[in-house]
Each structure stands twice: as C-alpha cells, then as structure tokens.
Structure 1
Amino acid sequence: MQVSAKAPIIEMRGIGKAFSAGSIECHVLTDIHLNVRQGEFVSVAGPSGCGKTTLLSLMGLLDRPSGGELHFGGQPVHDLGRAERALLRNRHIGFVFQAFNLIEDLSVAENVALPLSFHGKLSKHERNRRVHDVLASVGMAHRMRHYPSQLSGGQKQRVAVARALVGDPAIVLADEPTGNLDLHNGEIVMALLGRLHAEGRTICMVTHDERFGAMADRTIRLLDGRIVDESTFQQRHSEAESGLDEYRLHESLL
C-alpha cells in the first residue's frame, strides 16, 4: 500500500464501537469523525474510561468498529479479513505501549527486529543495519545485546520506540507512552517523539498528561465516547471536579 501525501493516513467516518455483555450493550465510541494527516502529531485526551485506548485500537487495526467507515491510506479497511488487517498493520503501523511489551527472553536487538519478519525477504545484513540504525537514533545502540530485565523503564520505552520505527511505518500510535515512567524519563521519551515528529513522522498519542499533550499539533478531546470541542470538555471537566469536591466534603463530615 502506498500512502498518498495528499490523502489522510487515517479517516474515520461515523465510527462506533460497542461491546455486549449478555443482554446489555455498552457503547464505548459513538459517531467518531476524524482525520489524521501525514506528518501530523495528534494527541487524544480525556478522562479514564472515555474510549481513548479503544479509539487507538481501531486506528491500529487491532480491533474492528461496530459501525461506520474506516480508511487507511485512502483505502477502506473496515471490511478486511483478519489476515489482510494483520499484514497491513504489521507493515504500516508502529505501536508504543504503556507497558513496553518487550519479550523478556529476547535481546534488545531481537525485540526491535521482530516487525521486520513481516517486511518480505531481507538479507541478514540489511536486517542488522536497520536494527542498529534505529537503536542508534534513540540512543540505545550500546544496549543491543542486553535483555529487557537489564534496562530501566526509560530505556525499555526507548527500545519500544525503536521497535515501532524499524519497519518505517506510515504512522506511530503511542498509548500512554510515559504512563509507567517517572518525570525525567517521561520527558526523555517525549523529547524523542518530538524529534521524530520534527523529522516528518506521523504520530497519534493517547496521554493523560496535559504538558505532553501540548507538544502535539492538535488535541482530540473525548468525553463519554464522543469527540467534543474544547469549551465543552472544560465545562464537563469542571463539573466533574466540582462533584468530586462535594463528595469528598460529604465523606469528611461523616
């Protein structure tokens, strides 16, 4: 698949996602309309349980929408079979997870090389070159032969970023990439993502941290599974905080 510079990488039109639990249907996302264009840095913000991770899963073809139309690189993908979706995902989408998701029994270099299994026949030399170059770009080439248990949390996440980049994906999806890191390591990882964006990478990131979200070109606000504007988000957030303060006051008086 060739991703056009003119067309959005991801297009969502009326996307919804619902889960069934017995006779009860829970709507996690409703009527989502969203474009992510090549070279953009988009952050997704909202309270816990509002559908942020579900939205990222749909973007990354890890899950299927319950309704609506989803296009990747200008082509419809909502009706693709499992094997077709997996091939498209593994070749064109890089993932960075909060929990790193490194395989403990593999070295750093072996972890980073995993996505290259889906990129056709590469020579051993080309494979090793790509792994070295991408690890060097995140400052981890000197740790190639180490194992995840020998790394700090910040180092693990930098390796995870390298793994996301090694296949030269059209877009990098990051789900709370600083969620398991202290402030210092979180800033290092965000500086790395900022540099990648400056170099032309397309990034969509879920984050609870407003400081890191402010690094993006624009922020998508989610509330109760719907995209809302900034004023609505702030109003509802203030109402929720006010309600929480009243509850705390009530509890303190009991």
Structure 2
Amino acid sequence: MGEGKPRRLNFLRDLTLVAAPLVSALIIARIVFSGQTTQGFSGDTGLGSFDFVTPGLISALLIFSLFYSLRRRGEQVARLVIAGITIAGTLSGLLLLKIWFDASIMVPAIFYVSAAPLGYLGLYLSVRNYLGLLSERKTSLLLSGSASFLGALVGFLFPPLFTIFFLFALSLLDIMMVESDALRRTVGYRRFESIISLATVPLEKQVVGIGDLLAYSMLTVASLRSGNLYVAGATIILILIGALITSKAAKSRLRMPGLPIPVFLGAMPYLFALLVL
C-alpha cells in the first residue's frame, strides 16, 4: 500500500510531463489563431498545390548531415542541435505572440516591451543549457516549452495531411533507426548515453525525446485545424495512451521507438473527422 502511492504519483508526474506540451500547444494555437477563421481552423488540407518534394529532400539532407556530424563530433553537435531547437522554440513563441497582437489590434509598443524580456530569457536559458549549466528540472521545462511553441507554429505552417504523413514517415524511420541501433553504432557506445541525456526529458523509468514531444505537438495542432476542439482533445488523449503503451512495452524490450504508436493513434481522430465531417 505504501509503495502504491509513490508509484501513482510518479505515474501522474510522467503523464503531466508528456501532456503539458500538448495542452500548451493546443491552447497557444487556439488563442493565437482564434481570428484566423479562413486559414487557421480550416479543414481544407491544401495538398493540391503543396510541394512535397522540396520538404522531403530537405528533411533527408538534414538527417544525413546530422548523422555525419554526430559521427565526427557527437556530444558537441548534439548540444548545438538542442540549442538550435530551443532557440527556434523561443523565436516561434515570439512570432506567435506577434500574430496574436496583430489579430487583437493591440498597441505595437506593448509587444516589444513584453517580447524583449521573453526573448532574452529564452536565449539565456538556451545558452546555459548548451553549456551544461542548467539543472535537470529547468532543462525539462525548456525542452517542453520549446516543443510546445515550435510544434504550434509548424503545425500551422504546413497542411494537416502533409504533417500527418510526414510524421508517419518519421515514425517508420524511427522504427528502422531503433531496431538497427543506428545512432549507437554511429556515435559509439560511450557517447551514446550522454547524447541521449541531452535530448530527452527524464521520466520515472523511461525518457521521452524532444523530437517526440515536438512531433506530438505538431500532430495536436494539425488536428485542431479540423475546426473541432473535440478532435484535438481526442488526439491528445490517444497520444497519451500511445505513450503509455510504448512505456509499458519498453519494459520488456531492450529498445522501443517512441513515435509510431502515439502518432498512429493520435492521427486517427483527424483522419476520421476528414472522412465524416
């Protein structure tokens, strides 16, 4: 009985760490784009005129360059990539704030007064994290916040169906990378653990990567573009269920990819709404 309560508390803590970026991304997107009725919450996929080739080639080039760089300078490159993501998250937050101010017809000076300290704080924490000077708790908050803002922005930059198919492709890539142990083989067994610790948010017995949180946030915001908050809410619930299933399965396996189950489950509400509504 005494052991059950700490376990439940740890479970709720882990659930909160995963759910917080998703709920934050949903709230941010809903507030910022509440006035964007024609584009922000349209169910139109917009795939007819969308260029699939360019983003695909750029993604493949970035992945190849990343693995090549990790092989040469493992931990240093990992720190640089994480710093780039956190800085991009800060800039995404400022851009979303600017869009919200413009839509609300607020005094422009208020934006600049509020953006300056927020931007400085984000950059300051990103630099300290790059130098390894942040505590584990602050690092987790920084990674989660960056995933929320960047995921909210990216979720609106691309058509929802493209985002979902892109995440499907990343999920398949995640399976291949994890099953082949490609990252460990690329960077070496000694540097692998340090790189993983830099790019993940620690849970009770597992870790969740910033890439996973970013993908979950993108999927949540993409589902919001169906125009239905219930669809977005169902997406979050199914992502959390998928993350829980992944966590349970990881206990009996040496390696377990974090994207496939949450992404495939989380995409179901939007795809179902696309067929029905």
Assess same fold via TM > 0.5.
no
* Larger strand fraction of residues: 1
* Larger helix fraction of residues: 2
Q: Where on the TM-score scale, by shorter chain, does this alignment land: which range?
A: under 0.3
